[in-house]
Structure 1
Amino acid sequence: MALIELGVVALDCPDSRALAGFYAEMLGWRVADEDGDWIEVAGPQGRTLAFQQVAGYRPPQWPGQEHPQQLHLDFDVRRADAEAAHEKVLALGAKLVQQDDARQNWRVYLDPAGHPFCLCFRN
């Protein structure tokens, strides 16, 4: 075991329960822990995303930097499943903000709280 290991990635948001539900459904993970305004979603091999409700939350601006994104999440999808994944995230409330093209293998979306994330396509 390393001296220091990554524990959890936490996203600020206006509604921690709603955003945790979005990512749990998108990834097929489960809500594992709720402590007031802090909710964790657990996946395989100890992977965890956390959502922290913040009063006065201001979403990042993508692609501009007036309200910097500060981080974004990349999710791998088999190229053959690209359209199914696209339809799933849209149905859950994501917004497509950049379509893939011949030079790139990803699409950029905003989650319901405005955080950018990418579906990255692999063969």
Structure 2
Amino acid sequence: MALAKLDVVVLDCPDPRALAGFYAAVLGGTVEEESGDGTWVDLKVPGGPALAFQRAPGFVPPRWPAPDRSQQFHLDLTVADLDAAEQGVLELGAKPLDADDRERTFRVYADPAGHPFCLCAC
């Protein structure tokens, strides 16, 4: 028997509203501000766990790959068409982190706040 159930994945960032908007454009869903002052914003994702975004003063984004500023975690997002999804996330402000290997079934990016995430072919 499980001791707990995953409720939400929380990402620290400098601008919760902006980062929630980025992921809403990528994943769909509804952005809901919980705090009233922009320090906490939820993204209710259809058919999946929620994402939340928390303002972190002095936020320093991870580097990928870099042992001195470890990524700590990343999101894997499944897509039907890697090229189309890549174009979409780049237009939304993502930055490629590993543009060298185009033959793999996944590609690594940083969201606008610098968190690594992967687009993975399904």
TM-score, normalized by length of structure 2?
0.90
Instruction: Provide the aligned length of Structure 1 versus Structure 2.
Output: 119
2: CA distance, partners of 1:3 / 1:69: 27
**RMSD of the alignment, in Å?**
1.6
Post-superposition shift, 1:7?
A: 0.3
5 Å-filtered alignment, 1:51-90, equals: 51-78=53-80, 81-90=81-90
Displaced runs of 4 or more, over 2 A: 99-102
Identity %: 54
1: CA distance, partners of 2:117 / 2:78: 11
Check 1:2–1:44 CA distance in 2 against 1; reply closer, same or farther (3 A cut): farther
Alignment match, 1:20: 20
Q: Where do 5+ consecutive residues of structure 1 fail to align?
A: none
Any idea what SS the aligned residue of 1:20 has?
helix
2: CA distance, partners of 1:107 / 1:56: 28
Of 26-35 and 49-58, more deviation after overlay is shown by: 26-35
Post-superposition shift, 1:67?
A: 1.2
Q: Where do 5+ consecutive residues of structure 2 fail to align?
A: none
Q: Deviations over 1:9-51 (max 9, x none)?
A: 0000011111011001111111034313010001123520000
Alignment match, 1:9: 9
Q: Deviations over 1:47-102 (max 9, x none)?
A: 20000001000000111121111000000011xx2211011100000001113443
5 Å-filtered alignment, 1:88-103, equals: 88-99=88-99, 100-102=101-103
Post-superposition shift, 1:2?
A: 5.0
Is 1:43 equivalent to 2:45 in the alignment?
yes
Of 87-96 and 23-32, more deviation after overlay is shown by: 23-32
Any idea what SS the aligned residue of 1:66 has?
helix
